[in-house]
Amino acid sequence: MRLSTFLPILAASLATAAPLEQRDTVEDYNAPPGGDVTILNYALTLEYLERKFYMEGLANYTQADFVAAGFADPFYDNLKEIYYDEQACFTLAGALGTAAVHEATYSFPSTDVKSFLALSSVLEGVGVSAYLGAAAEIVTGAYLTVAGSILTVESRHSSYIRAALKESPFPKPFDTPLDFNQVFSLAAQFITSFAPGDPALPFKAFPALTIQPSQYPYTAGSSPVTFTHAMKNAVSAGLIKADTPVYAVFFSGLDTYYVKVRTTSGNSGDFKIDMIPAGGNGQLAPTGQVYVVLSTADGTTTKVSDENTISGVGILEVNPVGQRDGVF
């Protein structure tokens, strides 16, 4: 059922319930040019990336390396299973036929088992967010079923890796949808070049956001965050003036949080916030794999959108208030 058909029914059944908070950036989830074909190629691009990542990881690090790093058997075998699951790309490529994009070339920053697994956790989480964000715009029912069946497996991978890293396997009652450009911005960091001759996906990457010092994990309601050179970069790119108000906009589950940034002393051109929001006022605490962009939207007069995003997407692992180590 299309969302437009479903909404009146939903509205009727919610008439007596509390108003459902909608994600702010609804228009950014609209179907891209090319519709389902573009969305499937977008999914295929992510599947190729993940497949290559596990292929390299399994080649670079042995079973003994994982055991030595504290990931006892059958962890390595389960990683191999994840790699096999990423062959879902062939199903997508098959559905697309000659319209399918090809594998790009990639570069992953991992250098050992620990950094490989940290990135694995991030990529699985981004996979979940990507399929979730795209779902509402898939028109063909059969494709939605395929995408949904990949999404649920991605979320199992995510939970498994998160639990192995002693992070909460399912930190929040809702996962976090990301829009096409947000996911593209994250994926583009690992893509060194697209396959020659492939049609370019109609998405753009935002200017990259650097979070320093990188901390793991952060705590909702207390950790400060510095966005290194973010003001200097946005001013020199002509995206803002030095006195333009800028907000760090966090996404976690279906909640969106706005925190006004301040500049730091000295001439580093950083933006800073004194603490990650704690939730409250009807919002759950940001928890788990949390995303952040910098935007000129304040959340009241203007909502965050691709058009007013000046940098992103950053990723932080966040523990909720009062929870020390992410283990429930």
- Helix and strand numbers (H, E) in the chain are 9, 11
> Which lies closer to ligand NAG via its Cβ, residue 60 or residue 215?
60
**Quick check: 302 binds ligand NAG (CB under 6 A)?**
no
Peptide bond before residue 74 is cis, with ω within 30 degrees of 0: yes
Q: Which stretch binds ligand NAG (CB under 6 A): 23-31, 41-49, 108-116, 220-228?
A: 108-116
Helix (H) or strand (E) holding 251: strand 247-252
**Quick check: 65 binds ligand NAG (CB under 6 A)?**
no
Asked if residues 75 and 88 have their Cβ atoms less than 8 Å apart, the reply is no
Q: Which stretch binds ligand NAG (CB under 6 A): 6-14, 55-63, 252-260, 316-324?
A: 55-63
**Quick check: 143 binds ligand NAG (CB under 6 A)?**
no
**Quick check: 80 binds ligand NAG (CB under 6 A)?**
no
**Quick check: 108 binds ligand NAG (CB under 6 A)?**
yes
Per-residue tokens: 225 = 């965050």
Q: Which stretch binds ligand NAG (CB under 6 A): 53-61, 127-135, 138-146, 268-276?
A: 53-61
- One residue of 31, 34, 56, 321 binding ligand NAG per CB under 6 A: 56
Q: How far apart are CA 254 and CA 59, in angstroms?
A: 37
Angle, helices 35-60 vs 113-135, to 10°: value is 170
CB of 287 vs ligand NAG, minimal distance in Å: 27
How many CA atoms are closer than 13 Å to the CA of 270, on its beta-carbon side? 16
**Quick check: 83 binds ligand NAG (CB under 6 A)?**
no
**Quick check: 110 binds ligand NAG (CB under 6 A)?**
yes
Q: How far apart are CA 268 and CA 289, in angstroms?
A: 28
> Which lies closer to ligand NAG via its Cβ, residue 117 or residue 231?
117
Q: What is the dihedral of CA 227, 247, 264, 234, to 10 degrees?
A: 70
Q: How far apart are CA 253 and CA 273, in angstroms?
A: 21
Asked if residues 152 and 143 have their Cβ atoms less than 8 Å apart, the reply is no
Q: How far apart are CA 143 and CA 195, in angstroms?
A: 24
CB of 108 vs ligand NAG, minimal distance in Å: 4
> Which lies closer to ligand NAG via its Cβ, residue 79 or residue 313?
79
> Which lies closer to ligand NAG via its Cβ, residue 60 or residue 223?
60
**Quick check: 53 binds ligand NAG (CB under 6 A)?**
yes
Q: Which stretch binds ligand NAG (CB under 6 A): 49-57, 89-97, 287-295, 299-307?
A: 49-57
Binding mask 113-132 for ligand NAG (x = CB under 6 A): ---x----------------
Strand pairing report for 247-252 and 271-273: unpaired
Q: Please, what is the Cα angle at 116 between 76 and 193, to 5 degrees?
A: 120
* Residues binding ligand NAG: number (CB under 6 A): 7
Residue for token pair 């990336």: 49
**Quick check: 60 binds ligand NAG (CB under 6 A)?**
yes
> Which lies closer to ligand NAG via its Cβ, residue 50 or residue 255?
50
- One residue of 32, 57, 171, 288 binding ligand NAG per CB under 6 A: 57
Whole-angstrom CA distances from 69 to 62, 118, 182 are 11, 13, 33
Binding site for ligand NAG (CB under 6 A): 53, 56-57, 60, 108, 110, 116
